[in-house]
Homo-oligomer: A and B are copies of this chain.
Amino acid sequence: MDSTFRRTPDIHLQDLIDGLLSGNRAFLSKAITLVESKKAEHKKLSAELVNAVIQHEKESFRIGITGVPGVGKSTFIEAFGKMLTSKGKKVAVLSIDPSSNRTKGSILGDKTRMDELSRDPNAYIRPSASGATLGGVASNTRESILLCEAAGYDVVIIETVGVGQSETVVKDMVDYFLLLMLAGGGDELQGIKRGIMEMADHILINKADKDNLKAAKKAREDYKNAVHLFPPNDAEWTVPVGLCSAIEKTGIDDAWNEIDNYAQHTQMNGWFNENRRRQAIKWFHERVRARLEEDFYSKPNIKEEIKKREELISSQKISVRKAVDELFS
């Protein structure tokens, strides 16, 4: 929590909205900190803030980027972000890392990771939101996206650590889902949930340079063949498989061209707006569900009661239906 709020609890909402809409970065940071706050009075303000800014809709494109640790995500995002700012775009980078803990230095980590981009006046890098649940973190990030867009950032990049369930969560909040890969087989993908490859709108094989170039080209052919076997996606989009080297800054422009093709394609066929609409409705239902669960799990002794029944279920001493009946009686 930003210390500003602890000292001055009476934030002037209109000042914050005006500052945000003017593109002021300090106000953007303040606004994001506000929506991440768990304090009751901040929650109410946050709701007003986000509600006010979505009425000032601005054009934007949201890109999710994932890949295993070691694939070179930060280096890629730095090169990709610099390419975008050089084209006059304003770029925001948010990340979802449910395992991260703000106090353990992830701010420093993120800033030093993308050193050059973080010093670019047209880029805004915000470290991972922390939170108890992935759903909570995701909801904060969704609101942060809206705030970045209100502040005039036209491309919002959501980076995820690429392990566990966070990719599916990111997929549900972006217009485009880019999967960074390395040349090599499935073993390097340890930790990534199966199904992610089929969710990607774009597969980009990084580190396609030097001694690795030949293997990367071979991998591109393999992935192209695999992509061809997948069921068609809702966007009616043929998933491109490309090569890049974030370090040598090759293939970065090509990647953007593909993304731009996608943006035009989905604007034309209506998927862009339809997808955003569906994502918002799904998010709404998720939050309703989360609220129901929060209320339920805050009942006295409920956690013990659940744990007890989980053990009985695990040892097949009680059926699921009976366990649920007991819990609600």
Contact = CB atoms under 8 A, between A and B. Distances in A.
Interface of A: 44, 46-48, 50-51, 54-55, 57, 139, 142-143, 146, 185-187, 189-199, 222-223, 225-226, 228-233, 277, 280-281, 283-284, 287-289, 291-293, 296, 306, 309-310, 313-314, 316-325, 327-328
Contacts of A327: 288
A316 to B, nearest CB: 5
B287 A289 contact: no
Contacts of A51: 318-319, 321-322
Q: Is the interface of A mostly helix, strand, loop or mixed?
A: helix
7 contacts: A50-B319, A54-B318, A139-B320, A185-B229, A284-B309, A291-B324, A292-B296
B194 A230 contact: yes
Contact of A47 (B277, B288, B291, B321): B321
A316 B276 CA distance: 10
Contact of A314 (B142, B233, B277): B277
Given A54-B318, A288-B324, 13 more contacts: A44-B325, A47-B319, A57-B316, A185-B228, A187-B232, A189-B231, A197-B198, A197-B229, A222-B228, A225-B226, A277-B314, A284-B324, A291-B328
Given A198-B197, A225-B225, A320 B280 contact: yes
B231 A186 contact: yes
B284 A310 contact: yes
A10 to B, nearest CB: 20
Interface pairs A-B: 9 shortest CB-CB: A195-B195, A189-B231, A226-B226, A194-B198, A50-B319, A51-B319, A292-B292, A192-B231, A287-B324
Contacts of A231: 186, 189-194, 196-197
Taken together, the copies of this chain in the complex come to 2
Nearest to A315: B277
Contacts of A288: 296, 306, 324, 327
A292 B324 CA distance: 11
Contacts of A229: 185-186, 197, 222-223, 226
Nearest to A142: B320
Given A185-B228, A321-B46, A316 B195 contact: no
Nearest to A50: B319
A231 B193 CA distance: 7
Contacts of A222: 225, 228-229
A217 to B, nearest CB: 15
Given A143-B321, A327-B288, A197 B281 contact: no
Contacts of A316: 54-55, 57, 280
A219 to B, nearest CB: 8
A313 B279 CA distance: 10
Contacts of A225: 222, 225-226
Contacts of A54: 316, 318-319
A228 B189 CA distance: 11
